Amino acid sequence: MQPVVLHNSTFYNGDCITGAAEHIADNSVDLIITDPPYGINGDRLHQHYNRNEEFVVEGYVEIPRADYADFSIRWIKEAERVLRPGGSIYIVSGYTNLIDLLNALRKTSLKEINHIIWKYNFGVFTRRKYVSSHYHILYYEKPGGRRTFNLESRYGLHEKTGDGRSLNNFDREDVWIINREYKPGQVKNKNELPTRLLIKMIQYSSNEGELVGDLFLGGFSTAAVAIGLNRRVVGFEISQQIFDTKIPEIKTLTPGYLVPSLQNPAISMQKNFRKTWTDNDLRQLHEGYNKLRAEGISKKHIIARLGEELGRGRWSIEKALKKNGFSH
Protein backbone atom coordinates (compact mmCIF):
# COMPACT_ATOMS: atom_id res chain seq x y z
CA MET A 1 0.00 0.00 0.00
CA GLN A 2 1.70 3.21 -1.16
CA PRO A 3 0.60 6.24 0.85
CA VAL A 4 -0.23 9.71 -0.36
CA VAL A 5 1.71 12.19 1.77
CA LEU A 6 0.32 15.72 2.11
CA HIS A 7 0.83 18.41 4.76
CA ASN A 8 2.96 16.09 6.94
CA SER A 9 0.06 13.61 6.87
CA THR A 10 -0.13 10.12 5.42
CA PHE A 11 -3.18 8.65 3.69
CA TYR A 12 -3.59 5.05 2.64
CA ASN A 13 -6.13 3.72 0.17
CA GLY A 14 -6.79 0.31 1.69
CA ASP A 15 -8.09 -1.76 4.55
CA CYS A 16 -7.29 -0.17 7.91
CA ILE A 17 -6.73 -3.44 9.76
CA THR A 18 -4.02 -4.91 7.57
CA GLY A 19 -2.83 -1.41 6.65
CA ALA A 20 -2.31 -0.33 10.25
CA ALA A 21 -0.58 -3.62 11.07
CA GLU A 22 1.85 -3.01 8.24
CA HIS A 23 2.42 0.73 8.45
CA ILE A 24 1.75 2.14 11.92
CA ALA A 25 4.16 1.61 14.79
CA ASP A 26 3.00 0.65 18.29
CA ASN A 27 2.21 3.57 20.62
CA SER A 28 2.71 6.18 17.91
CA VAL A 29 -0.67 7.94 17.56
CA ASP A 30 -1.74 10.64 20.01
CA LEU A 31 -5.46 10.70 19.25
CA ILE A 32 -7.87 8.61 17.16
CA ILE A 33 -11.19 9.98 15.95
CA THR A 34 -13.10 7.58 13.83
CA ASP A 35 -16.49 6.78 12.48
CA PRO A 36 -16.65 3.14 11.33
CA PRO A 37 -19.13 1.85 8.79
CA TYR A 38 -22.38 1.07 10.56
CA GLY A 39 -23.03 -2.45 9.32
CA ILE A 40 -26.57 -1.64 8.24
CA ASN A 41 -27.22 -2.42 4.62
CA GLY A 42 -29.36 0.15 2.87
CA ASP A 43 -29.31 2.28 5.99
CA ARG A 44 -31.14 5.58 6.09
CA LEU A 45 -29.32 6.96 9.08
CA HIS A 46 -27.29 9.27 6.91
CA GLN A 47 -30.34 10.79 5.30
CA HIS A 48 -31.59 13.98 6.69
CA TYR A 49 -33.76 16.87 5.99
CA ASN A 50 -33.46 18.40 2.58
CA ARG A 51 -30.49 16.35 1.45
CA ASN A 52 -30.14 15.49 -2.22
CA GLU A 53 -28.75 11.93 -2.32
CA GLU A 54 -27.35 12.63 -5.75
CA PHE A 55 -24.44 14.40 -4.06
CA VAL A 56 -23.46 11.53 -1.77
CA VAL A 57 -20.16 10.15 -3.03
CA GLU A 58 -20.40 6.60 -4.40
CA GLY A 59 -18.17 3.76 -3.28
CA TYR A 60 -18.85 3.63 0.47
CA VAL A 61 -17.88 0.16 1.69
CA GLU A 62 -20.26 -1.43 4.21
CA ILE A 63 -19.53 -4.35 6.52
CA PRO A 64 -22.05 -7.21 6.42
CA ARG A 65 -24.03 -7.38 9.65
CA ALA A 66 -22.86 -10.94 10.31
CA ASP A 67 -19.19 -9.84 10.27
CA TYR A 68 -19.64 -6.65 12.26
CA ALA A 69 -18.73 -7.97 15.72
CA ASP A 70 -15.54 -9.65 14.53
CA PHE A 71 -14.64 -6.69 12.32
CA SER A 72 -15.05 -4.33 15.29
CA ILE A 73 -12.77 -6.42 17.47
CA ARG A 74 -10.09 -6.53 14.80
CA TRP A 75 -9.94 -2.81 14.05
CA ILE A 76 -10.29 -1.75 17.69
CA LYS A 77 -7.38 -4.00 18.67
CA GLU A 78 -5.27 -2.26 16.01
CA ALA A 79 -6.39 1.12 17.32
CA GLU A 80 -5.38 0.06 20.83
CA ARG A 81 -1.95 -1.05 19.63
CA VAL A 82 -1.12 2.15 17.75
CA LEU A 83 -2.39 4.61 20.37
CA ARG A 84 0.25 5.95 22.71
CA PRO A 85 -0.25 5.27 26.41
CA GLY A 86 -2.49 8.13 27.55
CA GLY A 87 -3.77 8.59 23.98
CA SER A 88 -7.50 9.13 23.46
CA ILE A 89 -9.92 7.51 21.06
CA TYR A 90 -13.35 8.80 20.04
CA ILE A 91 -15.60 6.34 18.17
CA VAL A 92 -18.75 7.73 16.58
CA SER A 93 -21.60 5.23 16.21
CA GLY A 94 -25.29 4.91 15.67
CA TYR A 95 -27.30 2.78 18.10
CA THR A 96 -27.91 -0.34 15.99
CA ASN A 97 -24.48 -1.93 16.29
CA LEU A 98 -23.25 -0.02 19.30
CA ILE A 99 -23.24 -3.21 21.32
CA ASP A 100 -20.59 -4.74 19.06
CA LEU A 101 -18.34 -1.74 19.56
CA LEU A 102 -18.83 -1.82 23.34
CA ASN A 103 -18.09 -5.55 23.43
CA ALA A 104 -15.01 -5.07 21.29
CA LEU A 105 -13.77 -2.27 23.55
CA ARG A 106 -14.19 -4.57 26.55
CA LYS A 107 -11.78 -7.01 24.96
CA THR A 108 -9.02 -4.39 25.07
CA SER A 109 -7.22 -2.44 27.78
CA LEU A 110 -8.94 0.75 26.61
CA LYS A 111 -10.75 2.53 29.42
CA GLU A 112 -13.99 4.46 29.16
CA ILE A 113 -13.77 8.16 29.94
CA ASN A 114 -17.19 9.36 28.74
CA HIS A 115 -20.13 8.17 26.74
CA ILE A 116 -21.10 11.29 24.80
CA ILE A 117 -24.42 11.82 23.09
CA TRP A 118 -24.19 13.92 19.97
CA LYS A 119 -27.59 15.41 19.23
CA TYR A 120 -28.02 16.77 15.72
CA ASN A 121 -30.81 18.48 13.87
CA PHE A 122 -33.33 16.92 11.53
CA GLY A 123 -33.57 13.19 12.14
CA VAL A 124 -35.24 11.07 9.45
CA PHE A 125 -39.00 11.71 9.35
CA THR A 126 -41.16 9.03 11.03
CA ARG A 127 -44.89 8.78 11.68
CA ARG A 128 -45.39 6.06 14.27
CA LYS A 129 -42.38 6.50 16.51
CA TYR A 130 -39.99 9.14 17.81
CA VAL A 131 -37.48 10.66 15.47
CA SER A 132 -33.93 9.49 16.04
CA SER A 133 -31.64 12.49 16.24
CA HIS A 134 -28.52 11.42 18.10
CA TYR A 135 -25.33 9.44 17.74
CA HIS A 136 -23.10 7.93 20.36
CA ILE A 137 -19.50 8.96 20.83
CA LEU A 138 -17.43 6.52 22.85
CA TYR A 139 -14.53 8.38 24.38
CA TYR A 140 -11.85 6.02 25.74
CA GLU A 141 -8.19 6.21 26.68
CA LYS A 142 -5.27 3.87 26.50
CA PRO A 143 -4.01 3.56 30.08
CA GLY A 144 -0.38 3.94 31.04
CA GLY A 145 0.30 7.60 30.32
CA ARG A 146 -1.12 11.01 31.01
CA ARG A 147 -4.17 11.75 28.90
CA THR A 148 -4.22 15.12 27.16
CA PHE A 149 -7.28 17.07 28.20
CA ASN A 150 -6.88 20.75 27.46
CA LEU A 151 -9.29 22.05 30.04
CA GLU A 152 -9.20 25.69 28.97
CA SER A 153 -8.60 25.24 25.26
CA ARG A 154 -12.05 26.61 24.38
CA TYR A 155 -13.40 28.50 27.39
CA GLY A 156 -11.59 29.75 30.47
CA LEU A 157 -12.76 28.31 33.78
CA HIS A 158 -14.17 31.65 34.82
CA GLU A 159 -16.06 32.52 31.63
CA LYS A 160 -19.79 32.83 32.19
CA THR A 161 -22.92 32.80 30.08
CA GLY A 162 -25.21 35.86 30.21
CA ASP A 163 -27.18 34.19 33.03
CA GLY A 164 -24.12 33.40 35.11
CA ARG A 165 -23.48 29.73 34.25
CA SER A 166 -19.98 28.43 33.56
CA LEU A 167 -19.31 28.26 29.82
CA ASN A 168 -16.45 25.88 30.40
CA ASN A 169 -18.64 23.45 32.29
CA PHE A 170 -21.42 23.75 29.76
CA ASP A 171 -19.02 23.01 26.89
CA ARG A 172 -17.85 19.89 28.72
CA GLU A 173 -21.25 18.37 29.36
CA ASP A 174 -21.62 14.96 27.74
CA VAL A 175 -24.55 15.88 25.50
CA TRP A 176 -23.34 17.87 22.51
CA ILE A 177 -25.88 19.70 20.40
CA ILE A 178 -24.19 20.26 17.08
CA ASN A 179 -26.03 20.45 13.81
CA ARG A 180 -25.03 18.41 10.83
CA GLU A 181 -23.79 20.48 7.94
CA TYR A 182 -25.99 21.14 5.02
CA LYS A 183 -23.83 21.65 1.94
CA PRO A 184 -26.18 21.88 -1.01
CA GLY A 185 -24.65 20.85 -4.31
CA GLN A 186 -21.38 19.61 -2.81
CA VAL A 187 -20.17 16.02 -3.06
CA LYS A 188 -19.88 14.52 0.41
CA ASN A 189 -19.60 11.21 2.20
CA LYS A 190 -22.51 9.58 3.98
CA ASN A 191 -22.45 10.64 7.61
CA GLU A 192 -19.84 13.31 7.16
CA LEU A 193 -19.01 14.65 10.61
CA PRO A 194 -19.49 18.38 11.20
CA THR A 195 -16.42 20.57 11.54
CA ARG A 196 -17.55 21.94 14.91
CA LEU A 197 -17.80 18.46 16.38
CA LEU A 198 -14.32 17.53 15.17
CA ILE A 199 -12.77 20.80 16.33
CA LYS A 200 -14.08 20.14 19.82
CA MET A 201 -12.58 16.65 20.13
CA ILE A 202 -9.28 17.71 18.59
CA GLN A 203 -8.91 20.82 20.78
CA TYR A 204 -9.60 19.02 24.03
CA SER A 205 -7.60 15.89 23.26
CA SER A 206 -4.49 16.89 21.31
CA ASN A 207 -1.91 19.59 20.81
CA GLU A 208 -0.51 21.21 17.70
CA GLY A 209 2.00 19.00 15.89
CA GLU A 210 0.55 15.79 17.31
CA LEU A 211 -0.61 12.82 15.26
CA VAL A 212 -4.34 12.20 14.78
CA GLY A 213 -5.46 8.85 13.32
CA ASP A 214 -8.65 8.01 11.46
CA LEU A 215 -9.09 4.40 10.36
CA PHE A 216 -12.21 5.19 8.25
CA LEU A 217 -11.56 8.45 6.47
CA GLY A 218 -14.78 8.55 4.40
CA GLY A 219 -15.18 12.22 3.48
CA PHE A 220 -11.79 12.95 5.12
CA SER A 221 -13.51 15.39 7.47
CA THR A 222 -11.43 14.38 10.51
CA ALA A 223 -8.30 14.76 8.42
CA ALA A 224 -9.33 18.16 7.03
CA VAL A 225 -10.09 19.56 10.48
CA ALA A 226 -6.94 18.11 12.05
CA ILE A 227 -4.81 19.71 9.32
CA GLY A 228 -6.77 22.93 9.83
CA LEU A 229 -5.70 22.87 13.47
CA ASN A 230 -2.03 22.14 12.71
CA ARG A 231 -2.12 18.49 13.65
CA ARG A 232 -0.66 15.69 11.51
CA VAL A 233 -2.85 12.84 10.29
CA VAL A 234 -2.56 9.18 9.44
CA GLY A 235 -5.61 7.51 7.93
CA PHE A 236 -7.16 4.81 5.78
CA GLU A 237 -10.03 4.63 3.32
CA ILE A 238 -10.77 1.37 1.55
CA SER A 239 -12.81 2.79 -1.31
CA GLN A 240 -10.68 3.91 -4.21
CA GLN A 241 -13.48 6.03 -5.57
CA ILE A 242 -13.85 7.99 -2.34
CA PHE A 243 -10.09 8.22 -1.84
CA ASP A 244 -9.53 9.58 -5.34
CA THR A 245 -12.35 12.11 -4.94
CA LYS A 246 -11.10 13.43 -1.61
CA ILE A 247 -7.30 13.56 -1.99
CA PRO A 248 -7.39 16.54 -4.40
CA GLU A 249 -9.56 18.44 -1.88
CA ILE A 250 -7.07 17.74 0.91
CA LYS A 251 -4.26 18.97 -1.32
CA THR A 252 -5.85 22.42 -1.54
CA LEU A 253 -5.94 22.92 2.25
CA THR A 254 -3.56 25.22 4.06
CA PRO A 255 -2.40 23.77 7.39
CA GLY A 256 -3.77 25.83 10.26
CA TYR A 257 -6.58 27.32 8.15
CA LEU A 258 -9.07 26.90 10.99
CA VAL A 259 -6.94 28.50 13.69
CA PRO A 260 -7.98 32.12 13.00
CA SER A 261 -11.64 31.12 13.39
CA LEU A 262 -11.12 29.75 16.92
CA GLN A 263 -12.17 31.92 19.76
CA ASN A 264 -9.55 32.75 22.34
CA PRO A 265 -10.48 31.43 25.76
CA ALA A 266 -10.11 33.86 28.65
CA ILE A 267 -7.66 31.78 30.65
CA SER A 268 -7.95 32.13 34.39
CA MET A 269 -5.05 33.38 36.44
CA GLN A 270 -3.23 30.66 38.34
CA LYS A 271 -4.36 30.86 41.93
CA ASN A 272 -0.83 31.32 43.29
CA PHE A 273 0.43 33.52 40.46
CA ARG A 274 3.35 35.67 41.72
CA LYS A 275 2.84 34.53 45.33
CA THR A 276 5.92 33.69 47.37
CA TRP A 277 6.62 29.99 47.76
CA THR A 278 5.86 28.74 51.26
CA ASP A 279 7.70 25.82 52.91
CA ASN A 280 4.55 23.80 52.41
CA ASP A 281 4.50 24.59 48.66
CA LEU A 282 8.13 23.58 48.36
CA ARG A 283 7.54 20.33 50.21
CA GLN A 284 4.63 19.56 47.85
CA LEU A 285 6.82 20.38 44.86
CA HIS A 286 9.60 18.16 46.14
CA GLU A 287 7.37 15.19 46.93
CA GLY A 288 5.32 15.53 43.76
CA TYR A 289 8.40 15.71 41.58
CA ASN A 290 10.01 12.62 43.11
CA LYS A 291 6.79 10.62 42.97
CA LEU A 292 6.03 11.42 39.32
CA ARG A 293 9.66 10.89 38.30
CA ALA A 294 9.58 7.44 39.96
CA GLU A 295 6.50 6.66 37.84
CA GLY A 296 8.59 7.35 34.74
CA ILE A 297 6.64 10.47 33.73
CA SER A 298 8.50 12.94 31.51
CA LYS A 299 9.74 16.23 32.93
CA LYS A 300 7.49 18.21 30.62
CA HIS A 301 4.41 16.42 31.92
CA ILE A 302 5.56 16.63 35.53
CA ILE A 303 5.89 20.38 35.22
CA ALA A 304 2.39 20.66 33.73
CA ARG A 305 0.93 18.46 36.49
CA LEU A 306 2.70 20.28 39.31
CA GLY A 307 1.64 23.60 37.77
CA GLU A 308 -2.00 22.52 37.97
CA GLU A 309 -1.65 21.17 41.51
CA LEU A 310 0.21 24.17 42.86
CA GLY A 311 -1.71 26.82 40.91
CA ARG A 312 1.39 28.20 39.23
CA GLY A 313 2.67 28.64 35.70
CA ARG A 314 5.30 26.56 33.94
CA TRP A 315 8.10 29.11 34.41
CA SER A 316 7.46 29.39 38.09
CA ILE A 317 7.63 25.60 38.53
CA GLU A 318 10.78 25.34 36.44
CA LYS A 319 12.50 28.11 38.36
CA ALA A 320 11.59 26.60 41.72
CA LEU A 321 12.84 23.18 40.65
CA LYS A 322 16.16 24.64 39.55
CA LYS A 323 16.57 26.75 42.66
CA ASN A 324 15.88 23.78 44.88
CA GLY A 325 18.50 21.59 43.34
CA PHE A 326 16.45 19.47 40.94
CA SER A 327 18.38 18.73 37.79
CA HIS A 328 15.89 20.51 35.59
Ligand X SMILES: C[S@@+](CC[C@H](N)C(=O)[O-])C[C@H]1O[C@@H](n2cnc3c(N)ncnc32)[C@H](O)[C@@H]1O
Alpha helices in 32-108 (DSSP H): 68-82, 98-106
Residue placing its CB nearer to ligand X in the complex, 94 or 255: 94
Per-residue binding letters, 183-222, with ligand X (x by CB under 6 A):
------x-xxx----------------------x-xx-xx
Sheet with 29-34, edge to edge strand ranges: 4-6, 9-13, 232-237, 211-214, 29-34, 83-93, 134-141, 111-119, 175-177
Per-residue binding letters, 51-70, with ligand X (x by CB under 6 A):
---------xx---------
307 binding ligand X? (CB under 6 A): no
- CB 90 to ligand X: min, Å: 11
Per-residue binding letters, 242-281, with ligand X (x by CB under 6 A):
x---------------------------------------
Among 11, 15, 312, 316, binds ligand X (CB under 6 A): 15
Residue placing its CB nearer to ligand X in the complex, 84 or 246: 246
- Of 5, 187, 178, nearest to 92 by C-alpha is 178
Name the residue number minimizing CB distance to ligand X.
218
Report the C-alpha gap between 205 and 147 in whole angstroms.
8
Q: Which residues pair with 212 in a beta bridge?
A: 31, 233
Residue placing its CB nearer to ligand X in the complex, 155 or 176: 176
- CB 318 to ligand X: min, Å: 40
Report the C-alpha gap between 245 and 307 in whole angstroms.
46
- CB 123 to ligand X: min, Å: 17
Which residues, numbered 78-117, are part of the site for ligand X (CB under 6 A)? none
- E strands, the chain, are 4-6, 9-13, 29-34, 83-93, 111-119, 134-141, 175-177, 211-214, 232-237
Residue placing its CB nearer to ligand X in the complex, 153 or 221: 221
Piece of 141-149, 231-239, 257-265, 283-291 that binds ligand X (CB under 6 A): 231-239
Piece of 174-182, 230-238, 257-265, 320-328 that binds ligand X (CB under 6 A): 230-238
Residue placing its CB nearer to ligand X in the complex, 193 or 285: 193
35 binding ligand X? (CB under 6 A): yes
Alpha helices in 164-298 (DSSP H): 167-171, 195-205, 221-228, 240-251, 279-294
Decide: helix, strand or coil at residue 98. Answer: helix
Residue placing its CB nearer to ligand X in the complex, 120 or 216: 216
Crossing angle (nearest 10°) for helices 16-23 and 68-82: 20
Report the C-alpha gap between 264 and 138 in whole angstroms.
27
Neighbours of 47 (CB within 10 A): 14
How many binding residues for ligand X (CB under 6 A)?
Answer: 20
Q: Which residues pair with 166 in a beta bridge?
A: 160
228 binding ligand X? (CB under 6 A): no
- Of 167, 163, 148, 173, nearest to 31 by C-alpha is 148
Residue placing its CB nearer to ligand X in the complex, 155 or 236: 236
Residue placing its CB nearer to ligand X in the complex, 30 or 237: 237
Residues that bind ligand X (CB under 6 A): 15-16, 35, 37, 60-61, 189, 191-193, 216, 218-219, 221-222, 236-239, 242
